[in-house]
């Protein structure tokens, strides 16, 4: 059989074979429930993110240059082709730093996997059961590829979501469409050559909008690579962990390819998902939560604050220390700015990171009084956990201190179903009516029983576009 030797000798072939032959009845009910949760959370993030400037630009481009198609584009009455819908919706879902992440692998799976699966399922007319399988497979691939890469690529400035995303999206789409193992490996092999993304957005000179695009391009690539396979375009089967494969090229000797297939069916990526509470980088969530706790337990004026010391890991100091950000992206990645926003405003409010807030004098003053240092306990827990220690010193020698290793939303301190539903409603109202929001929640609750996604698609599409 074609490429039989390759299938037998690489860990990537093991995970492809596993998901090519997996049925929903073989998956624990808890994992299926978690798949519904990430679907709802990702859709909420997308419906909100679609109203932002970067999404409006992407939708404008898709409408101008797009082809025909019946795939949902969040916040728009106009549908589009599957690749362009995945592109726009990926940008939207990753559009305000509220989408989920997995700390250990440093990836944002929901912003890549869910838009890709939604577009492929709508385009292919498949059942909700296939959607759930595709989501589970995509999350698994993205996390496993992330931990197999190790930290070396991220240390050199690669954005792990942009690197792992195309491969995970290809896996997710292929499983959604019922690919066999050979076609899955071919699609993922092609997607390896679409793996890209550098962290220039965290370089201290302004983040622009590029980080949002990494998720959109990844989702689009996964859909497009599968379409190429459908047309007979062949991909290298060992492009993930073979010679000159993604792991070897980006990680070299630090790669751990066996993590691609370790404990398949026993350990699930969905068990590790972190639902964000604050619209900021995951590395800063603990800091914001500790500050909120200090504010709720102690009474002091902001003018009294002499200094704020934040103990984090070395990676956060390297990537999240810009004191006076120049745009929203940079603000959401800045520990000093987020400290100022958390003290002076509401850190959970997306408006706290709008461009009109960046010059707020009190926020900037508090950011100037913020000092970062490496906390040994926090450093030892990274990258599995993103903790923080915060020490606020005020006049008259008073000191208020807090420590958090497991911020709310993490697997160790998860959001409840009620909190998740509340977050979805709050975000979705940016582009959906109350009835559409309720209908979306209802359809997600029974998604594995849907014959097609048509009811969900109708619930997601606005009667009047929220974007122009």
pLDDT in tens, 281-326: 999 999 999 999 999 999 999 999 999 999 999 999 998 999 999 9
Specify if 254 maps to a domain. Answer: yes
Give me the pLDDT at residue 65, please. 84
Highest mean pLDDT range out of 1-10, 11-20, 458-467?
A: 11-20
Specify if 149 maps to a domain. Answer: yes
The CATH number of the domain holding residue 216 is: 1.10.4100.10
Same domain, 253 and 296: no
Domain boundary among 213, 241, 272: 272
Q: Which of 43, 189, 37 is nearest to 115 (CA)?
A: 43
The predicted model scores a pTM of 0.95
Give me the pLDDT at residue 3, please. 45
pLDDT in tens, 376-420: 999 999 988 999 999 999 998 899 999 999 999 999 999 999 999
Rounded to the nearest angstrom, the gap between the alpha carbon of residue 379 and the centroid of all alpha carbons in its chain is: 23
Give me the pLDDT at residue 466, please. 72
Q: For residue 377, give its domain range.
A: 282-404
Same domain, 79 and 184: yes
Domain boundary among 404, 432, 452: 404
Same domain, 31 and 136: yes
The number of beta carbons lying within 10 Å of the beta carbon of residue 152 is 14
Same domain, 205 and 69: yes
The mean per-residue pLDDT over the stretch 56-75 comes to: 92
pLDDT in tens, 186-227: 999 999 999 999 998 888 787 889 999 999 999 999 999 999
Specify if 464 maps to a domain. Answer: no
Same domain, 148 and 196: yes
Same domain, 64 and 145: yes
Q: Which of 242, 209, 181 is nearest to 14 (CA)?
A: 181
Give me the pLDDT at residue 409, please. 98
Same domain, 338 and 265: no
Residue 280, C-beta contacts closer than 8 angstroms, at least 6 positions apart = 97, 288, 332, 333, 338, 347, 353
Same domain, 52 and 92: yes
Q: How far apart are CA 420 and CA 68, in angstroms?
A: 34
Same domain, 268 and 299: no
The mean per-residue pLDDT over the stretch 96-103 comes to: 97
Give me the pLDDT at residue 348, please. 95
Contact 110, 56 (CB under 8 A): no
The mean per-residue pLDDT over the stretch 140-162 comes to: 95
Give me the pLDDT at residue 468, please. 63
Same domain, 321 and 261: no
pLDDT in tens, 428-454: 999 999 999 999 999 999 999 999 999
The model's confidence at residue 23, banded by pLDDT at 50, 70 and 90, is: very high
Domain boundary among 254, 272, 290: 272
Same domain, 54 and 126: yes
The model's confidence at residue 9, banded by pLDDT at 50, 70 and 90, is: low
pLDDT in tens, 343-378: 999 999 999 999 999 999 999 999 999 999 999 999
Give me the pLDDT at residue 350, please. 94
The model's confidence at residue 8, banded by pLDDT at 50, 70 and 90, is: very low
Specify if 37 maps to a domain. Answer: yes
Q: Rounded mean pLDDT of the chain?
A: 95
Same domain, 214 and 311: no
């Amino acid at each position: 059989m074609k490429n039989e030797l390759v299938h037998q000798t690489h860990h990537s072939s093991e995970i492809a074979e596993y998901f090519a032959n997996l049925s929903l009845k073989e998956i624990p009910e808890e994992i299926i429930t978690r798949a519904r949760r990430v679907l709802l959370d990702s859709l909420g993030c997308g419906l909100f993110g679609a109203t932002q400037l970067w999404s409006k630009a992407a939708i404008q481009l898709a409408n101008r240059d797009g082809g025909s198609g019946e795939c949902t584009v969040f916040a728009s009455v106009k549908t589009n082709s599957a690749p362009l819908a995945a592109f726009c919706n990926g940008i939207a879902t990753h559009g305000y730093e509220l989408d989920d992440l997995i700390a250990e692998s440093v990836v944002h799976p929901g912003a890549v996997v869910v838009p890709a699966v939604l577009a492929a399922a709508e385009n292919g007319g498949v059942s909700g059961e296939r959607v759930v399988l595709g989501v589970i497979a995509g999350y698994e691939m993205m996390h496993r590829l992330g931990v197999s890469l190790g930290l070396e690529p991220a240390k050199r400035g690669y954005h792990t979501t942009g690197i792992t995303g195309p491969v995970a999206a290809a896996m997710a789409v292929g499983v959604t469409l019922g690919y066999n193992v050979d076609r899955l490996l071919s699609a993922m092999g092609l997607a390896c050559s679409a793996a890209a993304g550098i962290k220039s957005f965290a370089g201290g000179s302004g983040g622009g909008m590029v980080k949002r695009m990494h998720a959109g391009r990844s989702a689009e690539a996964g859909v497009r690579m599968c379409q190429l396979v459908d047309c007979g375009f062949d991909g290298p089967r060992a492009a993930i962990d073979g010679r000159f494969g993604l792991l070897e090229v980006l990680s070299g000797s630090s790669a751990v390819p066996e993590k691609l297939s370790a404990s398949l069916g026993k350990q699930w990526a969905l068990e590790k998902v972190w639902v964000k509470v604050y619209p900021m980088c995951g590395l800063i969530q603990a800091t914001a939560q500790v500050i909120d706790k200090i504010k709720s337990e102690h009474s002091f004026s902001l003018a009294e604050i002499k200094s704020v010391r934040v103990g984090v890991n070395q990676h956060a100091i390297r990537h999240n220390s810009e004191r006076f950000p120049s745009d929203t992206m940079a603000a959401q990645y800045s520990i000093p700015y987020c400290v100022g926003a958390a003290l002076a405003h509401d850190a959970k409010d997306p408006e706290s990171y709008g461009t009109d807030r960046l010059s707020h004098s009190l926020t900037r003053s508090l950011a100037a009084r913020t000092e970062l240092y490496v906390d040994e306990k926090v450093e030892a827990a990274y990258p599995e956990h993103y903790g923080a220690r915060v020490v606020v010193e005020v006049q008259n020698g008073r000191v208020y201190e807090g420590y958090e290793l497991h911020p709310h939303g993490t697997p160790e301190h998860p959001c409840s179903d009620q909190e998740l539903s509340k977050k979805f409603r709050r975000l979705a109202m940016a582009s959906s009516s109350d009835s559409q929001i309720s209908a979306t929640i209802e359809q997600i609750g029974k998604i594995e029983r849907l014959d097609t996604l048509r009811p969900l698609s109708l619930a997601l599409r606005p009667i009047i576009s929220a974007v122009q």
